[in-house]
Amino acid sequence: MKFYLVVLFIFLSGHIVGQDSTTVETPKIVAKLSLGKTYTLNQVKLAFVDVLSDSRCPKDVTCVWAGQAVALVEVYKDQVLIERKKVVFEPGKNTDLNLMTLYTFKDLRIMAYNLLPYPEHSQEKIKKEAYYLQLEISY
Protein backbone atom coordinates (compact mmCIF):
# COMPACT_ATOMS: atom_id res chain seq x y z
CA MET A 1 0.00 0.00 0.00
CA LYS A 2 2.85 2.37 0.85
CA PHE A 3 4.40 1.67 -2.52
CA TYR A 4 1.25 2.80 -4.35
CA LEU A 5 1.02 5.98 -2.29
CA VAL A 6 4.64 6.88 -3.04
CA VAL A 7 4.13 6.26 -6.76
CA LEU A 8 0.92 8.32 -6.73
CA PHE A 9 2.65 11.17 -4.87
CA ILE A 10 5.56 11.25 -7.34
CA PHE A 11 3.19 11.18 -10.31
CA LEU A 12 1.01 14.01 -8.99
CA SER A 13 3.91 16.24 -7.91
CA GLY A 14 5.51 15.97 -11.35
CA HIS A 15 2.19 16.65 -13.03
CA ILE A 16 1.47 19.78 -10.97
CA VAL A 17 4.93 21.31 -11.53
CA GLY A 18 4.90 20.44 -15.22
CA GLN A 19 1.87 22.64 -15.93
CA ASP A 20 3.47 26.00 -15.19
CA SER A 21 2.24 28.21 -18.04
CA THR A 22 2.98 31.66 -16.67
CA THR A 23 3.81 34.35 -19.18
CA VAL A 24 5.92 37.37 -18.39
CA GLU A 25 4.94 40.77 -19.77
CA THR A 26 7.51 43.13 -21.19
CA PRO A 27 8.61 45.51 -18.43
CA LYS A 28 7.35 49.08 -18.74
CA ILE A 29 8.84 52.15 -17.17
CA VAL A 30 6.82 55.28 -16.43
CA ALA A 31 8.80 58.52 -16.38
CA LYS A 32 7.71 62.02 -15.42
CA LEU A 33 8.50 64.89 -17.81
CA SER A 34 7.69 68.38 -16.53
CA LEU A 35 6.77 71.25 -18.85
CA GLY A 36 9.89 72.96 -20.15
CA LYS A 37 12.14 70.01 -19.26
CA THR A 38 13.74 67.25 -21.32
CA TYR A 39 14.02 63.50 -20.90
CA THR A 40 17.03 61.74 -22.39
CA LEU A 41 17.35 58.03 -23.11
CA ASN A 42 20.39 56.85 -25.08
CA GLN A 43 20.64 59.28 -28.03
CA VAL A 44 16.92 60.23 -27.89
CA LYS A 45 15.82 63.42 -26.17
CA LEU A 46 12.19 64.42 -25.61
CA ALA A 47 11.32 68.02 -24.80
CA PHE A 48 7.91 68.91 -23.35
CA VAL A 49 7.49 72.29 -25.03
CA ASP A 50 3.95 73.48 -24.33
CA VAL A 51 0.37 72.70 -23.38
CA LEU A 52 -1.54 74.11 -26.36
CA SER A 53 -4.99 73.63 -24.82
CA ASP A 54 -6.73 71.96 -21.92
CA SER A 55 -10.51 71.74 -22.07
CA ARG A 56 -10.86 68.57 -20.00
CA CYS A 57 -13.97 68.54 -17.83
CA PRO A 58 -13.13 69.28 -14.16
CA LYS A 59 -14.09 66.63 -11.63
CA ASP A 60 -16.59 68.90 -9.84
CA VAL A 61 -18.66 69.49 -13.02
CA THR A 62 -20.92 67.26 -15.09
CA CYS A 63 -20.10 67.78 -18.75
CA VAL A 64 -21.65 66.58 -22.00
CA TRP A 65 -18.18 66.27 -23.54
CA ALA A 66 -15.14 65.09 -21.57
CA GLY A 67 -12.91 67.62 -23.35
CA GLN A 68 -9.32 67.20 -24.40
CA ALA A 69 -5.81 68.42 -23.73
CA VAL A 70 -3.16 68.98 -26.37
CA ALA A 71 0.56 68.88 -25.57
CA LEU A 72 3.48 69.75 -27.85
CA VAL A 73 6.54 67.51 -27.66
CA GLU A 74 9.78 67.75 -29.62
CA VAL A 75 11.77 64.60 -30.36
CA TYR A 76 15.52 64.82 -30.94
CA LYS A 77 17.87 62.07 -32.10
CA ASP A 78 21.61 62.76 -31.82
CA GLN A 79 20.87 66.44 -31.06
CA VAL A 80 18.86 66.83 -34.30
CA LEU A 81 15.14 67.66 -34.19
CA ILE A 82 13.33 64.83 -35.96
CA GLU A 83 9.72 65.63 -35.06
CA ARG A 84 7.40 68.13 -33.35
CA LYS A 85 4.37 66.18 -32.26
CA LYS A 86 1.00 67.32 -30.95
CA VAL A 87 -0.34 64.72 -28.56
CA VAL A 88 -4.08 64.77 -27.83
CA PHE A 89 -5.39 63.37 -24.55
CA GLU A 90 -9.12 62.63 -24.45
CA PRO A 91 -10.38 61.19 -21.14
CA GLY A 92 -12.54 58.11 -21.40
CA LYS A 93 -11.67 57.52 -25.03
CA ASN A 94 -9.54 54.69 -26.39
CA THR A 95 -6.76 56.37 -28.30
CA ASP A 96 -4.78 54.78 -31.11
CA LEU A 97 -1.38 53.76 -29.74
CA ASN A 98 0.33 55.07 -32.87
CA LEU A 99 -0.97 58.57 -32.12
CA MET A 100 0.50 58.42 -28.62
CA THR A 101 3.86 57.01 -29.73
CA LEU A 102 6.57 59.65 -29.57
CA TYR A 103 9.52 57.49 -30.62
CA THR A 104 10.04 53.91 -31.69
CA PHE A 105 13.17 52.09 -32.82
CA LYS A 106 13.67 48.33 -32.82
CA ASP A 107 12.43 47.17 -29.39
CA LEU A 108 12.37 50.63 -27.78
CA ARG A 109 9.03 52.44 -27.66
CA ILE A 110 8.34 55.75 -25.88
CA MET A 111 4.70 56.75 -25.55
CA ALA A 112 2.84 59.67 -24.03
CA TYR A 113 0.75 57.96 -21.36
CA ASN A 114 -1.02 60.83 -19.59
CA LEU A 115 -1.04 64.59 -19.03
CA LEU A 116 -1.33 65.66 -15.40
CA PRO A 117 -2.63 67.27 -13.28
CA TYR A 118 -6.24 66.64 -14.19
CA PRO A 119 -8.54 69.62 -13.55
CA GLU A 120 -10.13 69.25 -10.11
CA HIS A 121 -12.25 72.39 -9.73
CA SER A 122 -13.99 74.51 -12.34
CA GLN A 123 -13.01 77.72 -10.49
CA GLU A 124 -9.28 76.98 -10.46
CA LYS A 125 -7.10 77.19 -13.53
CA ILE A 126 -4.03 74.96 -13.67
CA LYS A 127 -0.77 76.92 -13.82
CA LYS A 128 1.31 76.01 -16.85
CA GLU A 129 4.37 75.15 -14.79
CA ALA A 130 2.35 72.49 -12.92
CA TYR A 131 1.79 70.34 -16.01
CA TYR A 132 3.78 67.18 -16.61
CA LEU A 133 3.66 64.25 -19.00
CA GLN A 134 3.80 60.64 -17.97
CA LEU A 135 5.88 58.69 -20.47
CA GLU A 136 5.63 54.95 -20.89
CA ILE A 137 8.90 53.36 -21.97
CA SER A 138 8.99 49.74 -23.03
CA TYR A 139 11.75 47.56 -24.43
pLDDT of 20 reads 53
pLDDT computed for residue 130 by the predictor: 97
Domains and CATH numbers, the chain: 25-138 (2.60.98)
pLDDT, residue 38, reads 97
Predicted pLDDT at 12: 64
Q: Where are the alpha helices (DSSP H) in 74-126?
A: 97-100
pTM across the whole model: 0.77
Residues of the chain with pLDDT under 50: none
Predicted confidence at residue 31, as pLDDT, reads: 95
**Longest Cα pair distance anywhere in the chain, in angstroms?**
79
Residue-level pLDDT at 93: 81
Identify the pLDDT of residue 9. 67
| Residue 29, strand partner residues | 137
**Res 135: pLDDT:** 96
Q: What pLDDT score was predicted for residue 95?
A: 76
Q: Residue 117, preceding bond cis, omega within 30 degrees? A: yes
The 8-class DSSP code of residue 43 comes to: T
Per-residue pLDDT tens digits for 4-41: 666 666 766 655 555 556 776 666 789 999 999 999 99
